[in-house]
Amino acid sequence: MQKFPGFVYNYPMLTLGVLASGRGSNFQSIIDSIESGFLKARIVALISDNADAYALERAKKHNIESIVLKPNDFPDKNTYYAHIADELEKRGVELVILAGFMRVAGKALIDRYRNKIMNIHPALLPSFPGLHGQKQAVDYGVKISGCTVHFVDEGVDTGPIIIQAAVPAYDDDTEDTLSERILKQEHKIFPYAIKLYSEGRISVEGRKAAIKGNREDSLLINPSLAAT
Ligand code: GRF
């Protein structure tokens, strides 16, 4: 292994809390990365805003505690996100993972986990933020698309960018074909970003996140990865 000065190599186990609203394939990629030993972390809770989320089944299968919290059961957004933060803190969560959590995180959560919340977005930010990033890319006619892992701030997909992967966008792509190509990269870069974090290799200054060590580590543009 290449050694970088100033890094802690015997880093401790990182405690994760995951928020997901749906299918949970990114959640699964993180579970798999932990089980394979790629990630030295544990997931102590899955919180979902949707009682029908398939992510809940995945949690059950892997003995991860799950909690369903619906915004409508709370008086307002602030109380909802304060409650989520309470649940996470109670379990000692150090890093919060938004894995297909289809809501804009509230300030009550962001303030308590500043630069400790990661989100994955299916586009090369700052292009195509918000919903349906892949469809936006197809409709616009870009030739390269991809995905981004970033820290969450108060904006919509505006926080410091940690890592991006690029894929080709072909003229005959549909939202579905492009989404599928991007998703394969999502499943690689999300666990990778968490690993960088767990090794203390991400520093944030203002709106920029930097990766210590290898300047190539924050981008995946290897054509063999993108060509699927
Ligand atoms: C992914 O495309 C992710 O980028 C976006 O929502 C989707 C969630 O997919 N934020 P999954 O639930 O992880 O399968």
Tell me the average confidence (pLDDT) per consecutive run of 10 residues in the chain, 228 residues long: 54 93 98 96 98 98 98 98 98 98 97 98 98 98 97 97 96 98 96 95 95 71 43
CA distance 175 to 155: 25
**pLDDT at residue 198, as a whole number:** 96
Our answer to whether residue 121 is catalytic in this structure is: yes
- Asked if 88 contacts 67 with a C-beta cutoff of 8 angstroms, the reply is no
Q: What is the pLDDT of residue 37?
A: 95
Residue (of 208, 228, 194) closest to 40 by Cα position: 194
* 8 Å CB contact between 125 and 151: no
The reported pTM is 0.91
What's the confidence (pLDDT) of residue 213? Answer: 79
The whole-angstrom separation of Cα 25 and Cα 58 is 9
CA angle 135, 210, 92 (to 5 degrees): 85
pLDDT at 12: 81
The per-residue pLDDT for 2 is: 52
Q: Pairing between strand 219-220 and 208-211?
A: unpaired
CA of 147 to the centre of ligand 1 (A): 10
pLDDT at 49: 98
CA dihedral 16, 17, 21, 26 (to 10 degrees): 10
Tell me which residue has tokens 């394979």: 36
Active-site residue, from 121, 132, 150, 187: 121
Asked whether 116 and 97 are in contact (CB, 8 A), the reply is no
- Pocket test of ligand 1: the residue of 101, 145, 183, 187 to mutate, having most ligand atoms within 8 Å of its CB, is 183
**Atom 9 in ligand 1: residue holding the nearest Cα:** 100
